[in-house]
Amino acid sequence: MIIIMNLPIISMILSLSACGMSNKAPNEDQQFEDATSIASKTIYDFKVTDINGETFDFSSLKGKKIMIVNTASKCGLTPQYEQLEEVYKQFKDTNFVIIGFPANNFMSQEPGSDKDISEFCVKNYGVSFPMMSKISVKGSDMHEIYIYLTQKKFNGLEDSDVKWNFQKYLIDETGRLAKVIDPRTLPNDPEIIKWIEGK
């Protein structure tokens, strides 16, 4: 039996075939390229806003070891500001710096404005290390620098979740993630001090 197909149908089939239909999702190649690009970044490729509203360029820290820590003013771990300041003062002249990122992601423990946070830090703990503008360190509005810090495909070391306030990310002199430190580990813990000293 001979089946005669409708010409418009044949034309449609040929057209779809010519389009090179595949299982690849739209923009999949671009997404891969973007991920590859981010993965090749170091911390020096990021610019953020500091607590005074000025641009802070991480490339200004080249050659330094960096501790990045998310902070909060109304947390049981807030007294860690004291140890952070002590460690900063002890090692700031030996190519080491601490960068604080206030965040309100955990039980609304950082509700204040940048001005409120700045005044609190100076008044209560004499904080002199660089503090940045308040950001989000997890969830759908996570800041890009924390996307980089928490995903292995970008930072090249490991995946991690920011468990609570005062989690520490240690960055080596080449701008690469070196260690992730639990929030409850004090800033002057021997593991951290040995890392700063290069032991």
> Are 86 and 122 contacting, i.e. CB atoms less than 8 angstroms apart?
no
Number of C-beta neighbours around residue 184 at 10 A: 13
Q: How far is 5 from 32, CA to CA, in rounded Å?
A: 42
Give the residues across from 181 on adjacent strands.
168
Which of these is catalytic: 38, 39, 48, 75?
A: 75
Q: Which residue has the tokens 């609570």?
A: 164
Q: SS3 for 66?
A: strand
Task: At 138, list the tokens.
Answer: 């997890």
Cβ atoms within 10 Å of 105's Cβ, excluding its own: 20
Q: Cα torsion for 123, 127, 132, 133, to the nearest 10°?
A: -10
Whole-angstrom distance, CA of residue 173 vs CA of residue 9: 64
Whether residue 75 lies in the annotated active site? yes
Tokens at residue 126, please? 């004499």
Q: Which three-class secondary structure state does DSSP give residue 125?
A: helix
Judge contact between 87 and 187, C-beta under 8 A. yes
Q: Which residues are catalytic?
A: 75
